[in-house]
Amino acid sequence: MPLVGKKAPSFSAQAVVNGGEFVENFSLDQYIGKKHVIFFFYPKDFTFVCPTELHAFQDQIAEFEKRNVAVVACSTDTEQSHWGWLQVPKAQGGIQGVKYPIVADTTKTISMDFDVLFGEYDVNDDGALVANGPMIAFRGLYLIDKKGIVRHQLINDLPLGRNVDEAIRIVDALQFNEENGEVCPANWSKGKDAMKDNHADTAKYLAKH
């Protein structure tokens, strides 16, 4: 089910921050009242598409920080796996240089709560618990506001990498709406004209039709 308009699921998990520091009980709750959050999932460490995404977010981290946005990544790998991948140079397929937090969803409950887990658990005829699917995360991305509410979500299949510039654009759109009360039409980008919110008039029209 879509999470847009709902409180982002809360969690506390191991994470690696600043390119190699282990943190216990990492939670997005620390940003409530302080920052917007881009929280994104990727399938697996030590793969091919994933490092391009993680580096792309790091390359634009100054743009997110300028907007007071925290970037946080997550996969179902362990924190030790995250740490090991962070030690490998980019030229060798690693993510050395990535500084934002990477959460270890080893129990897969975070992926389940955000509805991006590829697969599900079932019970076979012998009563044994089995996994139907690879049990890794799809490429989910969530924009969470300062109240902890999900305002945007995007979920890609495993082969489809995301556009970081679009993530920045959607942050700009949300912050523009919060600051000005106007809504952002199709293909809106920062600096373009927006529209006045005629939600009340629209609601009256829909009620009559």
Q: Rounded to an integer, what is the distance from CA 37 to the centroid of its chain?
A: 8
Whether 50 is catalytic is yes
Residue 4: closest CA among 164, 166, 151: 151
Which residues, 6 or more positions from 30, have their beta carbon under 8 angstroms from its beta carbon?
none
Contact 155, 139 (CB under 8 A): yes
CA distance 65 to 59: 12
Q: Are 118 and 93 in contact (CB under 8 A)?
A: no
**Selected catalytic residue, list 13, 37, 50, 150:** 50
Catalytic residues: 50
